[in-house]
Amino acid sequence: MSRLQKISQYGQQIWLDNLSRHLLDSGELARWIREDAIAGVTSNPAIFYNAIKHDASYQADLARIKATIAAPEARFEALVLPDIRRACDILRPLYDASNGDKGYVSFEVSPSLAHDAAGTLAAAQRLWHEIDRPNAMIKIPATQAGIEAVASAIAAGINVNVTLIFGPHQLAAVQAAHRRGLEARAAQGEAIARIASVASVFISRIDTLLDPRLPPELQGKIAIASARAAYARWRELPPLPAGARPQKLLWASTSSKNPAYRDVCYVEALIGPDTVNTVPDATLAAFRDHGEAAPTLACCPEESQGLLAALAARGVDMDQVGEELLAAGLAQFEDAFAKLLELMT
């Protein structure tokens, strides 16, 4: 059993935070599913920008698409949605065997829609039908408009990955939207048992932002403490409508940005039942080499609360931190999407 496989013994799924045609064509994704228990895939504009820019296998298709499709965004979707479908098909046996608990592939709505609830919902519905796979997930950012669209998308029967969550207020709003969507769908007499959702809580960016503002004894600790506190609150959420699947917490941005920190520290510290960790290739390789799997997520609640109390005593509001990081994350995705569309012209 690989070190990554051992994580699954503690009830956590590891998803790959990357997708490219090379991963599909080479059989590497299938091998990681088989050998390392990779249970899903996430993508975003930056991931596809790097894939298309550096993977030569896209170029012939792109030339053909340019001859028939005029709009850059439509060209992008025509180029990569077949890859999303292929990844869904590769993971479909896992989805079926787990009764829909595992095997999802996420694709994000355009960052330009981040503050447009109606536009986000329309894009989510269109992409859901165009991908046409039960194990697809549509990624929607945790802006005010995005959260409104999340409730509507869930009510429409769409699997949703809510991304760019940083602060406790953001996460609570996302969880409330998930509940509203399920309740609205159930009230319409529609089935809710197969609707899946994850709330993607970003981790390392919190420490990257806060460390320069904090004394040494708090540096590198707040992101983990915040995630553990979020998990403790998640475990106490009231029951959902009968038959509904809980919205899992997904840990994102779990590569270590500070070279002084252990390169797998955020993966090792957040292993617990009914959660997901989406991990880029380099962090996967590092954990495969020297990561240690143990049930760490629910440990040390008093320590986590003490760290967050010390942070608050210094006047740091995690909800304000969350808003700052959300704005920065949106800007990063918008920049990556703009560069991506340049590749389509």
Active site members = 139
Residues 231, 205, 103, 333: what is their CA dihedral angle, to the nearest 10 degrees? 130
Is residue 39 within 8 Å of residue 101, measured between CB atoms? no
Residue 142 C-alpha from the chain's centroid: 11
Is residue 42 within 8 Å of residue 84, measured between CB atoms? no
> Which residue, among 111, 130, 124, has the nearest Cα to 150 in the 3D structure?
124
Place of tokens 């995630």: 227
List the alpha helices (DSSP H) in 156-196. 168-187
Ramachandran region, residue 90 (left: φ > 0; alpha: ψ -120 to 50; beta: rest): alpha
End-to-end CA distance of the chain: 46
Cα radius of gyration (the chain): 19
Is residue 335 within 8 Å of residue 44, measured between CB atoms? no
Inter-CA distances, 140 with 44, 115, 246, Å: 11, 11, 18
List the alpha helices (DSSP H) in the chain. 3-8, 21-25, 28-36, 45-54, 59-68, 72-97, 117-131, 144-155, 168-187, 204-210, 222-234, 265-268, 281-290, 301-313, 318-343
Q: What is the largest CA-CA distance in the chain?
A: 61
Q: Which backbone phi and psi does 165 adopt, to 5 degrees?
A: -100, 130
Q: Residue 95 is which amino acid?
A: Y
